[in-house]
Structure 1
Amino acid sequence: MEEEFIFLKPATLRPANVGDDVHAELLGHSPVSRFISHEFLASQIERPTPVFDRFEQASADLLAFRSRLARAAVNRGVLAAGVGAPFQTEGWPEVTDVERYHTVETEFRGLVPDHLINGLHVHVGIPNRDAGVQALNRVRVWLPTLLALAVNSPFWRGTDTGFSSWRSVHMRRWSTIGCPPVFTDAADYDRRIRQLVGVGGTYDLCTVWWNARLAEDHPTVEIRVCDAQLDAPPALLLAALTRAVVTTALRDGEADVAPIDIAPELLDAGLWHAAREGMESTLLNPVSGTLESASAVTHALLRYAADAIDEVGNRERILGLLARVRRLGTGAERQRAAMRNGGRPALAALLTQALTAHD
């Protein structure tokens, strides 16, 4: 898992450029912060986790790191937030002083001020790139469903956008984004992504930013559709569901089970729809190709991945975490409720308390 966090000033909820300081404090000082890294902006930090094969490992690790991160933020008079986008912004953000990030700034120009976005990326191991491509061909149709569960960015520049994942709307303006196309095999995938390099700001293979892709540095499928999460439980839910969906897709690819056939324009519209509605209304069911209730589409995903969920003993955990989402709401719903009930101070309190929440 890769979690991106942003540091905010408590009174204004504007970005605070303390990423370098926190990185220097946390890097390598304990097993849970061994892999901490810089992110694009000086107000951000990214934390790739170790590889997990059990839910309990992931839970303990995420909570331990978030506790350390919260303390580091408090020591600097700021708060660390797991949000897809900050409540408030101002001017041109400070880019982290790394050559790669300055290249992104040069290539993407006027998009940079709106790139104050944070995601949760989940990697699932694959035996080889051919198997990974076959998994991508089958996972792509479930990306809108995963996004709906992950929505956590309703505000932009102090205003409710009417979308539950405004981060997703920002991402649509980059040159390679959305659900990946269908590929024949790994050779087809590799040929086509190499053709993208040099076109539209895609200056290397790592800037092919589809919501699902093959990782170039690891033997994994990487699912990148999710907003960063307020607290650890929904991040664990999304990781467990992603693992199950990718595992099922790998098996279907090996057994030559045909991918769900859905028109690319319908899938893309379904992704936009999920960014707006979250879990509060309807979603595109890729099986039927029609809009259905969010709960019905979630159950369709659970049916698709049922065997993979059950064999690792995650069914009760997943059902319990889904019930928690129904009870508390998605991150977007919780942020909106905080604003309604107490304005900016209540939202700041939610962001602070949620970072280390575990139930």
Structure 2
Amino acid sequence: MRTLGVEEEFLIVDPRNGSPLPIAGEILHLHDLSRSAEDPPSYPMLAAELQQEQLEVITGPHSRLSGLAAEIRAGRSYADALARKAGARISALATSPLPVTPRHTRNDRYDALLEKFALTAREQLTCGYHVHVSVGSDEEGVAILDRIRSWLPPLIALSSNSPFWNGTDTGYSSFRTQAWNRWSTAGPTDVFGSADAYHSFVERLSGTGVVASPDFDARLSARHPTVEIRVSDVCLDVRDATLIAALVRALVETASREWEAGQPPDNVATAILRQGVWLASRFGIEGNLLHPVAHKPDTAGNVVAALYDHVRDSLDQTGDAAYVEASLQRILDQGTGATRQRQSYERNNSLADVVAHATGVTHEEADHRDPRGEQLLAKSGTTSRRSDLVTLSG
């Protein structure tokens, strides 16, 4: 079974008014104090990001989905406990609902980014969700990247959690996607065809003098034997984060099987894929998406069902099919993080309340538990029988 791990980026917020606080350095100092220099590296790990108003929490690799979900919860709780000591909270918001002027993290790398990319970097306070899945080689990894391209926009739609930007409802479900795509290498890629072609392309990009490493929607990890899928917003709900991770692993496994069977990748034009990204960013699951096979507009329900059907055999192998199907149906019925943020705003017309509600959901402080989902998650990885849940609809 392929291992998977995730990186979650969070906003650091003031619990009194919801405003982002630039205190990542203070939280990381508390993190360092909590762990002895002699201690071996352990998870969850915390890391700085571009802006001081955000914090990254990194899990270790897991084989079972239930173990990953448990560490996601533990990482959120640990980071929040440190933030509380500094008078703040950790909130799973992919953009800040309230206006903010970010303060960047001071080091050589980020100083250079600010100098080169100017306003794009200064305004880039966005929180993403990156999923790493193990691969056997760069050749396999690139074959996977070539075969999952069309299936990534639905992940944007399902994880959409950034409707607000600087005090305004943007009209987008994932405005983070719009802000992130201002970076010069962000977005979908062409079919590479081989690991040599991939590495050659990355080298040529670096040779332009603009970027040192690419910000592709999906790429080979520079540090781990994994592919890294980077399209999703940080998920408001732990259940959604667990779902996205399960779908990514299943997409990776499905693509690897296609490669081993000699099935060529869909060579759809990257410009078409960008339209799929835009639709997913704009509407989430509340409008039409681009069908990953037909590349024509279709209902979100049909696209989500197509995604599930595409990876169903891989989900059966890992025992995650029942959990994924129930989770997809829940999102189709109840909406995404973006939906819940807007619903929170509509109750009191207060962006501070949006942040407070989001913080509660992040840490499951209110009545956000899903007993049936927890039961299915506990059973994941233990059975390969096909689930008997209702057919997905939207």
The answer to whether the Cα contact below 8 Å between 1:32 and 1:61 also exists between their aligned partners in 2 is: no
1-structure distance, mates of 2:31, 2:246:
27
Which of 261, 264, 274 is the aligned partner of 2:270? Answer: 264
2-structure distance, mates of 1:75, 1:36:
16
- The aligned residue for residue 254 of structure 2 is 248
1:260 to 1:198, Cα distance in 2 relative to 1, 3 A: closer
Which of 150, 160, 168 is the aligned partner of 1:151? Answer: 160
1-structure distance, mates of 2:209, 2:95:
24
Which aligned segments of 4 or more residues in structure 1 are displaced greater than 6 angstroms?
Answer: none
- The aligned residue for residue 7 of structure 2 is 2
Which of 347, 352, 362 is the aligned partner of 1:355? Answer: 362
User: Counterparts in 2 of 1:39-50, with a 5 A limit?
Assistant: 39-50=49-60
Aligned partner letter, 2:264: A
Aligned partner letter, 1:73: A
The answer to whether the Cα contact below 8 Å between 1:32 and 1:64 also exists between their aligned partners in 2 is: no
- The aligned residue for residue 175 of structure 2 is 166
User: Counterparts in 2 of 1:197-346, with a 5 A limit?
Assistant: 197-199=206-208, 201-202=210-211, 204-205=212-213, 208-342=214-348, 343-346=350-353
Q: TM-score, structure 1 length as denominator?
A: 0.94
Deviation of 1:263 (Å): 2.5
- The aligned residue for residue 114 of structure 1 is 123
230-239 vs 32-41, which moves further: 32-41
Deviation of 1:113 (Å): 2.7
2-structure distance, mates of 1:79, 1:216:
31
SS class of match (1:213): strand
The answer to whether the Cα contact below 8 Å between 2:158 and 2:284 also exists between their aligned partners in 1 is: yes
2-structure distance, mates of 1:89, 1:116:
11
Percent identical residues: 35
- The aligned residue for residue 74 of structure 1 is 84
The answer to whether the Cα contact below 8 Å between 1:151 and 1:226 also exists between their aligned partners in 2 is: yes
189-198 vs 115-124, which moves further: 189-198
1:308 to 1:221, Cα distance in 2 relative to 1, 3 A: same
2-structure distance, mates of 1:16, 1:62:
22
Equivalenced residue count is 355
1-structure distance, mates of 2:302, 2:342:
24
150-159 vs 11-20, which moves further: 11-20
2-structure distance, mates of 1:156, 1:336:
12
The answer to whether the Cα contact below 8 Å between 2:44 and 2:75 also exists between their aligned partners in 1 is: no
Deviation of 1:286 (Å): 1.8
**Cα offsets for 1:249-288 (capped at 9, x unmatched):** 0111121112224232211111111100001111101211
2-structure distance, mates of 1:212, 1:64:
26
1:213 to 1:355, Cα distance in 2 relative to 1, 3 A: same
106-115 vs 123-132, which moves further: 106-115
2-structure distance, mates of 1:171, 1:269:
15
2-structure distance, mates of 1:150, 1:3:
12
The answer to whether the Cα contact below 8 Å between 1:125 and 1:221 also exists between their aligned partners in 2 is: yes
The answer to whether the Cα contact below 8 Å between 1:125 and 1:219 also exists between their aligned partners in 2 is: yes
- The aligned residue for residue 384 of structure 2 is none
**Cα offsets for 1:265-317 (capped at 9, x unmatched):** 21111111110000111110121121111011011111111111001110111
Deviation of 1:32 (Å): 6.8
342-351 vs 263-272, which moves further: 342-351
- The aligned residue for residue 17 of structure 1 is 22
Aligned partner letter, 1:64: A
Deviation of 1:12 (Å): 3.9
Deviation of 1:11 (Å): 4.2
SS class of match (1:36): strand
Aligned partner letter, 1:324: R
- The aligned residue for residue 55 of structure 1 is 65
SS class of match (1:216): coil
The answer to whether the Cα contact below 8 Å between 2:9 and 2:92 also exists between their aligned partners in 1 is: yes
The answer to whether the Cα contact below 8 Å between 2:173 and 2:338 also exists between their aligned partners in 1 is: yes
Aligned partner letter, 1:48: I
Deviation of 1:73 (Å): 2.4
1-structure distance, mates of 2:44, 2:12:
20
- The aligned residue for residue 123 of structure 1 is 132
Unaligned stretches of 5+ in structure 2? Answer: 1-5, 371-394
- The aligned residue for residue 376 of structure 2 is none
The answer to whether the Cα contact below 8 Å between 1:180 and 1:213 also exists between their aligned partners in 2 is: no
**Cα offsets for 1:59-99 (capped at 9, x unmatched):** 111111212222222333322111111112333x2111222
Q: TM-score, structure 2 length as denominator?
A: 0.86
Deviation of 1:40 (Å): 1.1
Aligned partner letter, 2:354: L
Unaligned stretches of 5+ in structure 1? Answer: none
**Cα offsets for 1:294-350 (capped at 9, x unmatched):** 011011111111111001110111112223323431011110110011222421221
Deviation of 1:151 (Å): 0.6
The answer to whether the Cα contact below 8 Å between 1:84 and 1:118 also exists between their aligned partners in 2 is: yes
User: Counterparts in 2 of 1:128-143, with a 5 A limit?
Assistant: 128-143=137-152
